C-alpha cells in the first residue's frame, strides 16, 4: 500500500509532467508561427513524450492501489526573445524535472517504498537522456549563431524526429 506522502508526491509529479507537455506544446506553437516546422515537430514529439510520462505515473498509482488526484496546470510561457532562448528554457526545464524526480526518489528511499524506488529508476535514466539532448541542441544553436543556413539545417534535422 502506498503512503499518503508518496501518493501526494507522485500526484504532484503527474502535474509537473502534464505541465511539461503543455510547455513543449507551447514551444511547438511558437516555432510553427515562425515557419520552422522541424523545430515545431521536435517539440510536438517532446510534448507527447511528457504526456506519456504523466500517464506512466498515473497508471502506477492506480496499479498499486493509490488514488490519482489531478491538479490545475498553470499556463506556460508563450513568447521567447530568440530561438536559442527556447532551447535554453528547455534545458533549464529538464534540469528542474530532474531535480523533482530526484527529490521523489529521495522521499521513496526515506519512506522505504521499494516498489516506488524501483519504478522511479526508469525516470532517472530518462532524465539523463533528456538533459543531454537539450544541452546538445543548445550547443548547436550557439554554434549556428545568426547563420540562416545553419538554422535551416538544424530545423531539418530536428524535424526528422518521430514518436517512439
**Does residue 116 fall inside a structural domain?**
yes
Instruction: Please report, in tens digits, the pLDDT of each residue of the chain (164 residues total).
Output: 799 999 999 999 999 999 999 999 999 999 999 999 999 999 999 999 999 999 999 999 999 999 999 999 999 999 999 999 999 999 999 999 999 999 999 999 999 999 999 999 999 999 999 999 999 999 999 999 989 999 999 999 999 988 77
Q: What is the CATH number of the domain that holds 16?
A: 1.20.1260.10
- Distance between CA 94 and CA 72 in Å, rounded? 20
CA distances from 106 to 16, 66, 109, 139 (A): 17, 19, 5, 31
* Count of structural domains within the chain: 1
Confidence (pTM) = 0.94
- Distance between CA 32 and CA 151 in Å, rounded? 14
Q: Cite the DSSP H helix spans in the chain.
A: 4-33, 37-63, 83-110, 114-144, 148-159
**Does residue 155 fall inside a structural domain?**
yes
Q: Any idea what DSSP says for residue 49? A: H
**Does residue 49 fall inside a structural domain?**
yes
**Does residue 164 fall inside a structural domain?**
no
- Distance between CA 15 and CA 65 in Å, rounded? 19
Q: Which residue range forms the structural domain that includes residue 72?
A: 4-159
Amino acid at each position: 500500500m502506498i503512503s499518503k506522502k508518496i501518493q501526494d508526491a507522485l500526484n504532484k509529479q503527474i502535474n509537473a509532467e502534464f505541465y511539461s507537455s503543455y510547455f513543449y506544446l507551447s514551444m511547438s506553437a511558437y516555432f510553427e508561427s515562425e515557419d520552422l516546422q522541424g523545430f515545431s515537430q521536435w517539440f510536438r514529439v517532446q510534448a507527447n513524450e511528457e504526456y506519456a510520462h504523466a500517464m506512466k505515473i498515473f497508471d502506477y498509482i492506480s496499479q498499486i492501489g493509490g488514488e490519482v488526484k489531478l491538479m490545475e496546470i498553470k499556463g506556460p510561457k508563450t513568447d521567447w526573445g530568440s530561438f536559442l532562448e527556447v532551447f535554453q528554457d528547455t534545458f533549464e526545464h529538464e534540469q528542474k524535472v530532474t531535480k523533482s524526480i530526484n527529490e521523489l526518489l529521495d522521499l521513496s528511499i526515506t519512506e522505504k517504498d521499494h516498489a516506488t524506488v524501483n519504478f522511479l529508476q526508469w525516470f532517472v535514466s530518462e532524465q539523463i537522456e533528456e538533459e543531454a539532448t537539450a544541452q546538445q541542441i543548445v550547443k548547436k544553436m550557439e554554434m549556428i549563431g545568426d547563420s540562416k543556413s545553419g538554422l535551416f539545417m538544424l530545423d531539418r534535422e530536428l524535424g526528422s524526429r518521430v514518436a517512439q
